[in-house]
Structure 1
Amino acid sequence: MLVSFPEDSILTKHIIKLKTDATIVEIEAKSEWRFEVAFEQKLLIKVVEGNAEIFGTELANDIEYKFTGAKASIYTHEGCKLQYQGEVSSEYISEETEMGHYINLHLALENIRNTAGSKAPNVLILGAKDSGKTTLAKILSSYALRMDRQPMLVNLDPSNSVFSIPGSLTATPISDIFDVEEGWGNTYTSGPTLLHPKQPNVRYYGYDDINTNLKFYKENISRLGLTALSRLQVDLDIKRTGMIVDTPPLGLKNIDLIQDIVSDFEISVIVVVGNERLFIDLRKKFNGRLSLVKIPKSAGVVEIDDAFKRKLQQRAIREYFHGTASTPLSPYTANVDYKYIKAYKPASGNTSVDAGFNPSIDQLGYDLSAVTGDAKSKSKLIESVENNSANLLYAVVAILHADKKDDEDVVARSSVFGFAVISGADDDKHFVRILLPVPGRVPDKAMIVGEFRYTE
C-alpha cells in the first residue's frame, strides 16, 4: 500500500525509544504502521509480540526483515509490537485503514470458490493511478494462499516489475508466500531463491506506458490471456481458485480495452477502486453479465513520483542479473558478431513517444527516434532493427522462444525465454557484448528491443 506521511501523528504515544538504536512500536488491533524508506537507507524490522502482516503476507515473530527503497504498511488484526532499527524517512500509525473492505472482499471470493458447482472467480481490479490496485491484488493473492489456494496472479501494468523486469506482462501461479523484503520475490529464471520460485509466463511489451503502442499491448494481453486460461484448464489447484488480474490506470476512455481484458481472461468479477463514475458506467455496460464491486481508495495512498518508479525499475533489472544480498548471482558476458543477432522492435505505425519520457535515456545520450522510427508500418506488430550502437547500446532485450529465422508474425506471438542487456556495441568491428544471467552461448533466438536501458 502506498502511504502518505504527516509531519505530526497523534499516535506517537505508541512509539517507545529504547536505549539502543532500536525503537519499539505498539500497534493496536485493526491498525497499521505505515513507513517509507529511501533507496539510500536501510531499515530492519522485527515482530516481537503479537501478529502482523505486510500486504497480506504474515511476518514471522523474532525474525529480522530488511527494507530499502520501500513504501509500505504493516497491519495487525489483534495488535502487536514491532521493533525497528535503522533509517526511516517517515513512519506513523493509522487507525484509518481499508483492510476491513479487503478482508470482506476476500471472504466473498472464498464463498464463491466454496459454492458447489460454482466456477472460481476471475477478478479484474480497476482504478486510477496510485489508487492501491496492486496492493489489493497482492493482498487477495496472499489471503487465498493462506486458505491453501493457488491463485493465478496476472500483471497487465508494464510499469510494474512483477516476477520479471519492467516492460513485461506476466501470469504467475502463486504457490508460496511473497518475499516481503524484495516486494515480490524471484522466479526460476533468476537462479536459486530462499522461497519456492515462482514460474511466470512472460510477454514483453517493452514500454512503460500502454498508449505508446496500444496495438502491440493488446496483442500481448490477448496472448497472455490464452496462456493463462489454458493453464487453468490443466491445473486443478489454480482452476479451483481463479485469477486475480492487476491493471495499469484505466478509466472511462479505456472502456473498449476493459472489455477486451474481460473477454481475454473470462473475467467474472470486476473490482473498481475509488472511482464511482467508472463503477456506474461499467455496471451499465455489462448490465448484470458479471459482478461489480466498489472498494474505497485507501486514505494512505499517495502518488509515486517518476524518480522513485525509475529506481524501482532499475533495481528490478539489476536483481534479475546480479540477484540480491541474500541470493547473489554471477552473470555472464559474451561477445557476439552482429550477424548472429536478430532483433525486432514494436512497429512504429501507432507509436507516440515523448522524447523526454525516460530521463535515463537522455543521460546516456541515446537517440529515442532510433527505437520509435517513422510511421511506415501501420499494419505490422513488430519490425526488424538494424544492428548498430544507436539501436542496441545499453538496451534491455527479451530473448523469445521464437527462432531467428521465424516469420515476424511468429516472433510477435512468442513469449519470453529470458532477458539480456547489450552492454557494449562496436560498429567498426561489428560485435556486441551481451550480459546474460547464466553462462553459456547466446540462444539462437529472436529478440525484442523496447525502450528500457540499463548500465552498471
Structure 2
Amino acid sequence: MTDDKKSAQEFKLDPDNELRFEVESKNEKVYLILKAGLAEVFGTEIVKGKTYEFSSGAKVAIYTWQGCTIEVKGKTDVIYVAKETPMVTYSNCHAALEFMRIEADKENKKGPTAMIVGPNDVGKSTVCRILLNYAVRMGRRPIFVDLDMGQGQISIPGTIGALLIERPAAIDEGFSQEAPLVYHFGHKTPSANITLSEMLINQLANTVKERLEVNKKTRSSGVIINTCGWIKGGGYKQVLHAAKSFEVDVIMVLDQERLYNELVRDIPNFVKVVFLQKSGGVVERSKTARSESRDQRIREYFYGTPKNSMYPHSFDVKWSEIKLYKIGAPPLPDSCLPLGMKADDHLTKLVLLTPNPGILHHLLAVSFAEKDDDEILLNHVAGFVCVTNVDNERQTITLLSPQPKPLPNNILLFSELQFMDSH
C-alpha cells in the first residue's frame, strides 16, 4: 500500500452541501470520520468521532444541514463536494408526511401511505430510506414496503415484502432485517408473470392493512412504498394497480415528467401526485452492475456482510422428503382449454417438479403453507435455500441454507434466480 492511499483527506462542508464518494475497487476499504459539526447519510445521523467502513460497491452521500468537517481515508474512485442537492425538497416531503401523521394521530386514523415511482436508477430506494429514517427519528414506526423484485432490499431479488422500521438504517448496513414479511415471486421483473405479481401485491397490501389495524403507533406512522423501474406499458399498469391496492395518499415521481403527467391524469384527485428532482449523485448502472448487485444481495443473505459474517449450513435432503413446485405452467392453446378456464390461468398454476439437474444453483423459497393447494401461491415464505448439488442416484439434493436442518417446511418453491456459491 502506498502512502498516498493511507493519507487522509479532510473536507469542510458548508451548510446544505453533500460529500459524495464511490468505492469501486474490489477489496478496497474506505473509512469515514465526522470530525466536527453535524451530518447524515441518507437520513441517518453520523456519530461524531466514530469510524465508518465502506467496501467495494458503496455509493455514499454525506449531507450536512449546518456545515461539518469530515475525514476520509482510503482509495475512493470518485469523491467530490456537491453544492446542489435535492435534500431540502426531500425534507419538505417528510414534513408534509409528518403533518399527515400528526392529523392521523389526533383522529386515530391511518397515517399517509406514500409511494415512490420512477424509471431505473433515479434514486427511489434512497428517497425511501431518507423518508423512513426521518420518520423514525421523529419517533414514528412506519412500514417499508418493497415492490422492486429486481433488487430486493427487504429479502433477496425475486421477492416483494414489508418490514416494520423501528430504528434508523445503519449507515454501512441498511435497515435491520428483523422479521420481514416476504412473498416469493421467483423472477427478476414483474413482466415475467404480471398475473402472479398483481396477486402478490394485493396479498401484501391486505397483510399490511391488517398490521396497521392492530398497532396504533404504526397505523398513524403510515407506509412508504418502493417500486420497480419498469414504468411503461404493463409496468405503468402495475404502478396504478399498486396505488389502488395499497390505497396510497401520495405518489412521489422521481425525475420523469411524462410519468408524472400520466399519473395526474389517471389517478383519482384525492391522491396527491408530486414531482421530485433526482439527486445529481445518482449513478446509472449497467446491466452487469445490476446483476452484480443482485448476486451481492443473495450472497449477503447466506454469508452476511464483511462486518457481520454468517456461516450458512449445507445438508442433503431426500427427494421424497420435499415437495418442489414451480408457479406457472406452459400456456395451452385455446382449443385445448377446459370449459370455463381462462387463458391466463396457467400463470398461477402450481406445477410439481421432480428434482433434476436443471434446478442446480437455483434458489428455492421455503413456504409457510400447510397444505399443498392454491394457498401456496399467496403464503409468505420462511426464507430461502440454494441447490448446490443434485444426486440422481441417491435421489438427494444438497442445499445451502442460513439455518441448520431440518427445513421449517417441506413445501419448496422454485425461483428462476440463481446463485453460484463461490465460497
Task: Tell me whether 1:167 sits opposite 2:158 in the alignment.
Answer: yes
* One-letter identity of the residue aligned with 2:163: T
2:86 aligned to 98, 115, 132, which one? 98
Instruction: For 1:218-233, list aligned pairs within 5 A.
Output: 218-233=198-213
On the 8 A contact 1:342/1:384 being kept in 2, the answer is no
Instruction: For 1:151-300, list aligned pairs within 5 A.
Output: 151-182=142-173, 184-187=174-177, 198-253=178-233, 254-300=235-281
Task: Tell me whether 1:111 sits opposite 2:104 in the alignment.
Answer: no
What does residue 314 of structure 1 align with?
295
On the 8 A contact 1:341/1:387 being kept in 2, the answer is no
CA offset digits 1:372-396 (Å, max 9, x no partner): xxxx974341432533343321111
Task: Tell me whether 1:62 sits opposite 2:53 in the alignment.
Answer: no
* One-letter identity of the residue aligned with 1:95: K
Equivalent residue of 1:199, what SS? coil
On the 8 A contact 1:127/1:133 being kept in 2, the answer is yes
Q: CA deviation at 1:450?
A: 1.3
Q: CA deviation at 1:326?
A: 3.0
* One-letter identity of the residue aligned with 2:413: I
Change (3 A) 1:255 1:313: closer
Task: Tell me whether 1:445 sits opposite 2:410 in the alignment.
Answer: yes
Q: Distance in 1 between matches of 2:126 and 2:294?
A: 17
Q: CA deviation at 1:30?
A: 0.3
Instruction: For 1:316-331, list aligned pairs within 5 A.
Output: 316-331=297-312
Structure 1 range deviating more: 384-393 or 167-176: 384-393
* One-letter identity of the residue aligned with 2:161: T
Q: Distance in 1 between matches of 2:281 and 2:308?
A: 32
Q: CA deviation at 1:67?
A: 0.9
* One-letter identity of the residue aligned with 2:391: D
Contiguous gaps of at least 5 residues in structure 2: 332-342
Q: Distance in 2 between matches of 1:314 and 1:199?
A: 22
CA offset digits 1:94-153 (Å, max 9, x no partner): 111110110011111111111243641100111111112111111000000110001111
CA offset digits 1:239-266 (Å, max 9, x no partner): 0110000100143524432222122111
Q: Distance in 1 between matches of 2:297 and 2:404?
A: 20
Q: CA deviation at 1:45?
A: 0.9
* One-letter identity of the residue aligned with 2:324: A
On the 8 A contact 2:367/2:409 being kept in 1, the answer is no
Instruction: For 1:78-89, list aligned pairs within 5 A.
Output: 78-89=66-77
* One-letter identity of the residue aligned with 2:119: A
On the 8 A contact 2:31/2:54 being kept in 1, the answer is yes
Q: Distance in 1 between matches of 2:220 and 2:275?
A: 24
What does residue 393 of structure 2 align with?
428
On the 8 A contact 2:326/2:353 being kept in 1, the answer is no
What does residue 372 of structure 2 align with?
406
Change (3 A) 1:419 1:292: same
Equivalent residue of 2:353, what SS? coil
Q: CA deviation at 1:333?
A: 1.5
Q: CA deviation at 1:74?
A: 1.0
On the 8 A contact 1:213/1:346 being kept in 2, the answer is no
TM-score where L is the length of structure 1:
0.84
On the 8 A contact 2:329/2:351 being kept in 1, the answer is no
* One-letter identity of the residue aligned with 1:246: N
Q: CA deviation at 1:284?
A: 2.0
Change (3 A) 1:380 1:314: closer
What does residue 418 of structure 1 align with?
383
Change (3 A) 1:103 1:227: same
Task: Tell me whether 1:30 sits opposite 2:16 in the alignment.
Answer: yes
Task: Tell me whether 1:138 sits opposite 2:129 in the alignment.
Answer: yes
What does residue 193 of structure 1 align with?
none
CA offset digits 1:209-266 (Å, max 9, x no partner): 1111111111111111111111011011110110000100143524432222122111
Change (3 A) 1:304 1:19: closer
What does residue 379 of structure 1 align with?
346
Task: Tell me whether 1:45 sits opposite 2:32 in the alignment.
Answer: yes
* One-letter identity of the residue aligned with 1:333: S
On the 8 A contact 1:47/1:61 being kept in 2, the answer is yes
On the 8 A contact 1:52/1:74 being kept in 2, the answer is yes
Contiguous gaps of at least 5 residues in structure 1: 1-16, 188-197, 351-375
What does residue 191 of structure 1 align with?
none
* One-letter identity of the residue aligned with 2:301: Y
Q: Distance in 2 between matches of 1:266 and 1:81?
A: 43
Q: CA deviation at 1:346?
A: 2.7
Q: Distance in 1 between matches of 2:416 and 2:401?
A: 19
2:63 aligned to 70, 75, 91, which one? 75
Equivalent residue of 2:241, what SS? helix
Q: Distance in 1 between matches of 2:238 and 2:307?
A: 40
Change (3 A) 1:204 1:129: same
Task: Tell me whether 1:150 sits opposite 2:127 in the alignment.
Answer: no
On the 8 A contact 1:401/1:445 being kept in 2, the answer is no
Equivalent residue of 1:61, what SS? coil
Structure 1 range deviating more: 301-310 or 411-420: 301-310
* One-letter identity of the residue aligned with 1:319: E
Change (3 A) 1:152 1:84: same
Change (3 A) 1:289 1:166: same
Q: CA deviation at 1:292?
A: 1.4
On the 8 A contact 1:345/1:448 being kept in 2, the answer is yes
